[in-house]
Amino acid sequence: MKKTQTKKRVAGKKKAIYLVGEGTGDTISKIARAALAQFHHENVEVKDFFMVTEEEYVSHIMKTAGYDDALVAFSIVQPSLRDFLIHEADRRGIKAIDVIGNFIIQLSIFLKEKPLEIPGRQYILDEHYFRRIEAINFAVKHDDGKLPNGVKHADIVLVGLSRTGKTPLSTYLANQGWKVANVPIHPEMETPPELFEVDQRKIFALIINVESLVKLRESRLEQLGLETDAKYADPVCVEQEIEWCQEFFEKHPKWKIMNVSNKAIEEVAASIVNAFRPGKTH
């Protein structure tokens, strides 16, 4: 029979969500962030408990969760530890969600194969892992036009005006295993000749509307403690830059133009990958 908690939630107190994992917690954290993004979660407090491998630690977590009247989301693949957590949750009247367990069970049934039940198996140092690390290092070395001679070794090349998202896009794509170089362009700046010596089909030209670019540049100036009415963020100057940029891109018909206005990095990255399918897979 379930025991009820004697300690009740204080009025106005933030709702608590506990994330419990036996590994680094990367998987469950990403899932939780994606799910919470669908709600107004200003009144939610998320507490992380990772590298959980012992029943004693689980007991402590669940006891605290009971006091906080928390929702517990867990990602534990070791059967005995998972069962213990579920038992503790049931005993204390705590709502607990097995984030990946049900999916694993359904996969096991579908594939007619018993799961390996190895914590953190998705992070095994395999070929993809080392390719991803190599891609991240490449993106860092070839960010913002650095080492132009290395552009020829890139899988994808991003070009665009300042603050069109070249660096975060490069980083995001690198984490997927793509070697990305990004090159800034400007009407008053000479474009490196190496850009025109690579396969032009791997070049993605980022374009953005005036309103979005002005806001991004004003935000950047504020971060630097500079006046937001500088030429860098002046709407008239920005519009002229964008018009020049569009004309410049049209001179290179093999470049793929990507409009990044008001789009999330994930959305733009997906469009780039879908538009560019080289012979090798990632």
> In the listed set 123, 138, 168, which residue is the last one of a domain according to the structure?
123
Q: What is the pLDDT of residue 31?
A: 85
Q: Please check whether residues 170 and 265 belong to one and the same domain.
A: yes
Does 165 fall in a domain? yes
For residue 234, give both structure tokens: 């002046």
What's the pTM value of the predicted model, to 2 decimals?
Answer: 0.58
For residue 254, give both structure tokens: 């093999």
Q: Please check whether residues 84 and 187 belong to one and the same domain.
A: no
What does the pLDDT look like over 183-209, one tens digit per residue? 999 999 999 999 999 999 999 999 999
What does the pLDDT look like over 63-90, one tens digit per residue? 999 999 999 999 887 888 988 999 999 9
Q: What does the chain come to in residues?
A: 282
Does 4 fall in a domain? no
Q: Please check whether residues 80 and 157 belong to one and the same domain.
A: no
Q: Please check whether residues 33 and 143 belong to one and the same domain.
A: no
CATH of the domain at 172: 3.40.50
Q: Please check whether residues 170 and 42 belong to one and the same domain.
A: no
Please give the helix or strand (H or E) that residue 101 lies within, else none: helix 101-111
CA distance 183 to 161: 9
> In the listed set 123, 154, 175, which residue is the last one of a domain according to the structure?
123
Rg (alpha carbons) of the chain, rounded to whole number: 25
Does 5 fall in a domain? no
Q: Please check whether residues 76 and 133 belong to one and the same domain.
A: no
Pair 151, 142: CB distance under 8 Å: yes
Q: Please check whether residues 81 and 93 belong to one and the same domain.
A: yes
For residue 166, give both structure tokens: 């070249």
What is the residue range of 106's domain?
15-123
Does 229 fall in a domain? yes
Does 9 fall in a domain? no
Q: Please check whether residues 158 and 38 belong to one and the same domain.
A: no
Q: Please check whether residues 264 and 151 belong to one and the same domain.
A: yes
What does the pLDDT look like over 82-119, one tens digit per residue? 889 999 999 999 999 888 776 766 677 777 777 665 55
Q: Above pLDDT 90, what percent of the chain?
A: 53
CA distance 282 to 278: 9
Judge whether residue 4 has pLDDT over 60: no
CB contact set of 159 (below 8 Å; sequence gap of 6+)? 166, 182, 183, 184, 185, 195, 203, 204, 205, 206, 255
For residue 45, give both structure tokens: 């407090």
CATH of the domain at 61: 3.40.50.2300
> In the listed set 66, 94, 123, which residue is the last one of a domain according to the structure?
123
CA distance 8 to 29: 27
Q: Please check whether residues 167 and 149 belong to one and the same domain.
A: yes
* Torsion angles phi and psi, residue 41, rounded to 5: -115, 30
Does 227 fall in a domain? yes
CB contact set of 41 (below 8 Å; sequence gap of 6+)? none
What does the pLDDT look like over 33-67, one tens digit per residue? 888 888 877 788 999 998 888 999 999 999 999 99
The 3 state secondary structure assigned to 232-262 is HHCHHHHHHHHHHHHHHHHCCCCCEEEECCC
Backbone torsion region of residue 165, taken as left when φ is above 0, otherwise alpha when ψ lies between -120 and 50, otherwise beta = left
Tally of domains in the chain: 2
Does 233 fall in a domain? yes
Does 198 fall in a domain? yes
HSE value, Cβ hemisphere, 13 Å, CA-based, for 26: 6
Lowest mean pLDDT among 62-71, 206-215, 263-272: 263-272
Q: Please check whether residues 66 and 108 belong to one and the same domain.
A: yes
CA distance 78 to 178: 33
Q: Please check whether residues 97 and 220 belong to one and the same domain.
A: no
Pair 149, 132: CB distance under 8 Å: no
